[in-house]
Amino acid sequence: MKEGIHPEYHTIKVVMTDGTTFETGSTWGSEGDTMQLEVDPKSHPAWTGGARNLIDKGGQVARFKKRFGNFTLKK
């Protein structure tokens, strides 16, 4: 490997949205820094199954097509 081109790899502390913590190796921040997560697998709809509620709730796609369906690109 070439010298001086790779980021420094060190240990950081990660705090999940529910307050649980763990230590991991990372190139983010500096040795001993704490990363506070705003979204993690315990709270994000993609992992919790809440994403199903976001699909065309209340006809949003139909409303969008009604408002902007006539717009076309000019040639």
pTM above 0.75, yes or no: no
Dist CA 30 CA 22 (whole Å): 16
User: Which pairs count as long-range contacts for 53-62, CB under 8 Å and 24+ apart, including other chains?
Assistant: none
Q: What is the mean pLDDT of residues 54-62?
A: 67
Residue 21 one-letter amino acid: T
**pLDDT tens figures, 37-54:** 988 888 877 777 765 555
Please state the domain extents for the chain: 10-68
**What confidence score (pLDDT) does residue 48 get?**
75
d(CA 34, CA 27): 13
